[in-house]
């Protein structure tokens, strides 16, 4: 893991960090949380006898403003990274600031992961305020149908 990642890419604006971390978000919390999650993903892979480099296509589903993805900078070019999120503002910021990932906006999940060209998929932030609001809206639409 490369600590240069926190210096290589800028910190997102407060309103984007707040989308994933809530109203008391700080740049320190953003960086530390992303680092801890990325280290945990690497550790889990090691526990099952795998390395990130074993996977060519990596998708962060619900990437927000790349809090976790920024910490995988050192794995290029062995892996190709994708990030998707429902926040167009987060995706726009990511496209402008995180150059090694291909970003796209999603509306929840219009294709199942088995239909995508993905070797490994992770979802670290689906409990964030913006995702929870979308999931709650989706639930209320289906219960009224």
Provide the domain limits for residue 139: 5-143
For residue 99, what are its two tokens?
Answer: 């150059």
Beta strands in 9-139 (DSSP E): 57-61, 80-85, 101-105, 120-122
* C-alpha to C-alpha distance for 90 and 85, rounded to whole angstroms: 7
Cβ–Cβ under 8 Å, residues 59 and 82: yes
- Compute the average pLDDT of residues 52-75: 90
Report the distance separating Cα 25 and Cα 21, nearest Å: 5
Counted domains in the chain:
1
CATH of the domain at 108: 3.40.50
pLDDT in tens, 6-20: 568 999 999 999 988
pTM: 0.74
d(CA 133, CA 29): 22
């Amino acid at each position: 893991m490369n600590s240069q990642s926190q210096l290589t890419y800028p910190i997102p604006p407060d309103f984007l960090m707040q989308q994933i971390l809530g109203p008391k978000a700080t740049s320190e919390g953003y960086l530390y949380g992303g680092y801890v999650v990325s280290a945990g993903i690497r550790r889990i892979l090691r526990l099952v006898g795998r390395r990130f480099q074993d996977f060519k296509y990596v998708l962060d589903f619900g990437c927000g403003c790349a809090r976790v993805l920024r910490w995988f900078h050192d794995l290029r070019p062995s892996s190709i990274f994708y990030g998707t999120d429902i926040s167009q503002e987060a995706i726009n910021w990511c496209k402008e600031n995180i150059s090694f990932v291909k970003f796209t906006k999603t509306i929840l999940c219009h294709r199942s992961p088995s239909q995508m060209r993905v070797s490994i998929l992770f979802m670290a932030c689906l409990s964030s305020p913006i995702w929870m609001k979308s999931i709650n809206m989706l639930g209320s639409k289906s219960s009224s149908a």
